[in-house]
Amino acid sequence: MPRSLAAFAFLLLLACVAAPCVAQAPPEQLQIMPPMRRIGPPPSSWTALQLEKQGDDLRADKAYVDALDYYRAALDRKPSAVLQNKIGITYLQMQRFAEASKAFQRSTRADRNYADAHNNLGVIYYLQKKYGKAIKEYQKALKLAAESASFYSNLGAAYFSQKQFEKATVEYTRALQLDPDIFERTSHTGVAAQMSSPEDRAHYDYVVAKMYARLGIAERSLLYLRKAMEEGYKEIGKVYKDTEFAGLRKDPRFAELMAAKPAAIPE
């Protein structure tokens, strides 16, 4: 090795002893990219109705940032509780709960008789596990729109999360009477999705099975009984005592299900 090169290697070794040698690599830095926009800014010549319609289309396409631009532009032209509610829904779909809550509150202030905004504000409180506040908003919504199955279902979900099972059953039954398919549409987003333990989910499935049985909808009742058993419901024996299942117990499919004893699905 040439003398000059040997000297350089010795100095490099001393430097590594004095301070740890760190291999130089390309920097790995995170950067928040600006939101992608699919279309241009809202045209200044458009009416509030045109802007709102475009916002609806963009929200349906999940272009939420653009949708917010068009809703806000429409709101500038024509203040509206409906537009504030749509802004809140857009923020909710983006999982930006704080902004969604503020928008729904503005909507209820703009029109205190707007049932949808009260219900949607209740949804925010429910997702934040503020069940008492959620119940109050759902009750306000129901005073304004007493025939809404989804409002009753949401109120039942809040009661269920508070473990007020009798009250939950009353509200769920009202929801089912108005819309027998209500749980099929909300099974992935409603109360069952919020439950932390298989015991709670199993209890929920049993309660739903009981309500379907009371309404004489055997297929749905059997479906939820199976779910309760698969979730490991420990009090499944009550199915032979609860009066709601009296009619179902005469169905041969009930006997087949109970004889099969579906095994609990492991977590």
Give per-residue pLDDT as tens, 135-171.
999 999 999 999 999 999 999 999 999 999 999 999 9
Q: Does the pLDDT of residue 231 top 80, yes or no?
A: yes
Look-up of token digits 């709101």: 75
| Share of the chain residues as helix, strand and coil, in percent rounded to the nearest 5 | 70, 0, 30
Give per-residue pLDDT as tens, 88-133.
999 999 999 999 999 999 999 999 999 999 999 999 999 999 999 9
Highest mean pLDDT among 6-15, 37-46, 126-135: 126-135
Backbone φ/ψ region at 175: left (φ over 0), alpha (ψ -120 to 50), beta? alpha
pLDDT given for residue 15 in this prediction: 38
Mean pLDDT (whole number) for 25-48: 73
Look-up of token digits 């202030």: 109
The residue that leads in pLDDT, 153 or 39, is 153
Alpha helices in 32-148 (DSSP H): 48-60, 64-77, 81-93, 97-110, 115-127, 131-144
User: Could you tell me the two tokens for 3?
Assistant: 């003398």
Residue 69 identity: D
d(CA 36, CA 52): 20
- Most distant CA pair in the chain: distance in Å? 101
Nearest to 229 by CA among 253, 205, 255: 205
For 95, phi then psi, to 5°, come to 60, 30
Nearest to 87 by CA among 131, 115, 121: 121
pLDDT given for residue 30 in this prediction: 59
Q: Does the pLDDT of residue 12 top 70, yes or no?
A: no
Burial of 72 (0-12, 13-18, 19+ CB in 10 A): middle
- Specify the pTM: 0.76
Do 206 and 234 form a contact (C-beta atoms < 8 A)? no
Residues whose CB falls within 8 Å of the CB of residue 169, separated by 6 or more in sequence, listed in order: 156, 207, 210, 211
Do 179 and 214 form a contact (C-beta atoms < 8 A)? no
